[in-house]
Chain A
Amino acid sequence: MKNRLLALILSSVLLPTLSLSATAQSRMLESNKGTSVDCPTLIAEHLKVQYQVTNGKGQQWEMTLIRNGQDFIIQRDAATFEQWTSHGEYVRYFPVEKRSVTYRKGDLRALNVQHDRDQLYHVVSPKLQTHMVKTQVQQLGCFETQGFAGKVNGLESQLLWIDTIGLPYQFTLGATQPNLDYKLVIVEPFSGDAYSALTQDFQDIDFADVGDSESDPFIAKMINQGFIEHGSSGFYNSEGQAIEAQGGHGNHSH
């Protein structure tokens, strides 16, 4: 305990806010290392986190969340990533093609798509805690976590919450027989410039223009692949129902 506390105190004073090695990441997040850990200075609005997601069938994938103020990006697979902006826009990027589709507020409303921004920004909706009971406070790596337990979607679930960055350390839906598990594997600072660079030089189209762009080969291909997001993004939808879809796109839920 003493060592970890010391590490945290040191971290805020001494450590640079650079990308950390895998070893450093694992030290930062591991709970029972007896050695001193290098902890970065983290600002909740400017960071990158990665979760390892495991579903009930044992399938695993990575989910990355990058925050830049109230804008944020979520990536679940290599083919696409998504951004939610403070303007209320939702943008889907296709990095291979260097193309993007922007859904403005009116477009999302016309499609009857509602995103729970709060849940996406925090990976697990902060509202969930109000339905669970507090368990113990633990120091896990660099982070003080508050435990929560309770039923979510009728399943006993556990949440380890890092209040300083407003993100889960781990969330397990279905405690005895895991249904879905989110585990934090990477956390690092992320600058505004680095964030802007991620979305540079994409040829963008408004979703409203997709219907008149059938002659654009990229749009034609994407239309056939069913690229339009129908609200299946994220971990919990606004009703708190679990969504297990990996990737999200092409998974229609009208």
Chain B
Amino acid sequence: MNVMNIKRIAAAISCSLMTVVAHAAVLPATQTDSQWFKDSAANVAAKAQVETQKTAKNVILFVGDGMGVSTLTAARIFQGQQQPGNQGGEEGFLSFEQFPHTALVKTYNTNQQTPDSAGTMTAMTTGVKTKAGIISISDTSLRGNCLSSKGNELVTLVDLANAKGLSTGIISTARLTHATPAAAYAKSPERDWEGDANLPAEAVANGCTDIASQLVMRDEANALTVALGGGRSYFLPKEITDGENKAGKRKDGKDLTKTWVDSFSKAAYVWDKKGFDAVDVANTDHLLGLFNPSHMEYEADRADDVAGEPSLTEMTTKSLEMLKKNDKGYLLIVESGRIDHAHHAGNASRALSDAVELSNAVKAAMDATSSDDTLIMVTADHSHVFTIAGYPKRGNPILGLVHNVDGSLATANDNKPYTTLAYTNGPGAVVGVRDDLTSVDTQNKDFMQQALIPMESETHAGEDISLHARGPGSNLVQGVIEQNVIFHIINQAQQLGGTKY
């Protein structure tokens, strides 16, 4: 047997193992004995064994609102540094970062280089990019104009899944009527039309309805099995004061929580942690949970909520119990909605703790499902101008001041220390005299870009975000893709396109 034959046989057994064995002899022991070397070799060996099923019975799409790549890295370190016996924190992974397939996603809207959540989530749920501010209506429509939206409504993943007889669910820590969750079930040329009081006369005259009512006023066949999140005040009339002592915002006098219970079979409505914990899953087929008048609390503040709120992990777990009752399968869309808000406020800590909680929720979904029949995808809608900067030493606290490798405090040109995490703009900006750039050629190669631009709210960022996937169809997640490809991956994996449409 010659060398070539041995190689072929070995390759047939394990391509990657062969690589390690064949080259080990020429590498020094200091290299091959290294834990870095061993771990990464094992990683590649495992990857070579990955086989991906094509058809997904169930799909779970997690979206971290504003969860760009720098947020993932910082959240991973933030999580790692809280674990006992960590080696600095950088070595850890968020749960979904170990999924076998990853892609980069281009997020721009049809009219904006840096996008908003309405246009980006529309791309994911309909396969079509649209303008910023528009919810599952095509780009042909004008924002905020009802008449122009007519005839341009798009069919969403939820519509398709319901038509196929699957169960569907929406979870968000933001208001359920907020842009990201709304794009999964509603059609509106204006993201702000969350309740009827927000509809202008033109919208009413031309027959547009508010987003909250679109969640509830559905046929039983196209109803959501589970909808959990915040935003209670858009579901209650202004005459009603809720359990947390806040008045509703509806002007039409409708109590949509009551409509939910009255319209659907085995329907239940809960509004606090106690009610949530008491849900009888076996005897409930349609569950609406609205745990806050507006957005739910940041994970960091959840314990302080008036009536108590479930965590994103708890909402995910409960939803899966509900959805699994359908033998045909389910589609669940889960948004961690407040990573975005914390970033807008220039507050990294809350953004990171919410991102870690999203990772926990994904872990719970991984534990509750099988990668043989359930496609789990984790992505973001857009990024934020959030940076990890300087040369902090290994294990430097991610929220701390930068310390050099020798342990000394790093200082900037103004002799003041600085933090690893920062924003390009936002409320944390230093107020001082900035150069007027009106007559400056900012494209000159010697121009120095300004940093820490003062703005009352930090902004989204336009770079790509990531998509992580495991389970049937996850092999389609590869390369650099347009955001609307996500719809088509789900459509293909779950075979949603074959029935009504």
Contact = CB atoms under 8 A, between A and B. Distances in A.
A215 B189 CA distance: 14
A252 B455 CA distance: 12
Interface residues of B, number: 36
B298 A110 contact: yes
B345 A212 contact: no
A109 B301 contact: yes
A112 B456 CA distance: 14
Nearest to B426: A211
B460 to A, nearest CB: 8
Interface stretch (A6-14, A151-159, A170-178, A223-231): A223-231
A215 B133 contact: yes
A106 interface: yes
A197 B457 CA distance: 31
B426 to A, nearest CB: 9
Given A104-B294, A105-B301, A106-B297, A211 B347 contact: no
A223 B455 CA distance: 7
Contacts of A212: 116-117, 179, 191, 340, 344
B245 interface: yes
Interface in B120-136: 132-133
A211 B431 contact: no
B164 interface: no
Interface in B327-343: 338, 340-343
Given A106-B297, A212-B117, A111 B431 contact: no
Interface in B290-320: 294-295, 297-298, 301, 304, 306
Nearest to B133: A215
Interface string B62-106: 000000000000000000000000000000000000000000000
B350 interface: yes
Contacts of A87: 245-246, 306
B397 interface: no
B246 A111 contact: no
B301 A211 contact: no
Interface in A156-214: 206-208, 210-214
A24 to B, nearest CB: 36
Given A106-B298, A223-B455, A228-B427, A208 B341 contact: yes
Contact of A110 (B133, B304, B350, B430): B350
Contact of B295 (A206, A211, A216): A206
A210 B456 CA distance: 9
A212 B179 CA distance: 10
B459 interface: yes
A254 interface: yes
A110 B431 contact: no
Given A104-B294, A105-B304, A110 B345 contact: yes
A62 interface: no
Contact of A208 (B116, B179, B192, B344): B344
B293 to A, nearest CB: 9
A30 interface: no
Nearest to B112: A215
B257 to A, nearest CB: 20
Interface string A99-111: 0000011110111
B132 A215 contact: yes
B240 to A, nearest CB: 16
B431 A210 contact: no
A77 to B, nearest CB: 19
A139 to B, nearest CB: 41
B294 A206 contact: yes
B341 A227 contact: no
Contacts of A227: 456
A216 B198 CA distance: 13
A214 B456 CA distance: 11
B57 to A, nearest CB: 35
A20 to B, nearest CB: 32
A182 B416 CA distance: 39
Contacts of A228: 427, 456
Contact of B345 (A105, A111, A213, A223): A111
Interface string B208-226: 0000000000000000000
A207 B342 CA distance: 11
B457 A223 contact: yes
A106 to B, nearest CB: 5
A161 to B, nearest CB: 32
B390 interface: no
A246 to B, nearest CB: 18
Interface string B346-377: 11001000000000000000000000000000
10 contacts: A107-B345, A110-B298, A110-B347, A111-B346, A208-B341, A208-B344, A215-B143, A223-B455, A226-B456, A254-B427
Interface of A: 87, 104-107, 109-112, 206-208, 210-216, 222-223, 226-228, 230, 252, 254
Given A208-B295, A212-B179, 10 more contacts: A87-B245, A106-B350, A107-B341, A110-B347, A208-B341, A210-B344, A211-B344, A211-B458, A214-B457, A216-B192
The 10 closest A-B pairs by CB, nearest first: A211-B344, A211-B457, A110-B345, A110-B347, A208-B341, A223-B456, A106-B301, A228-B456, A106-B298, A210-B457
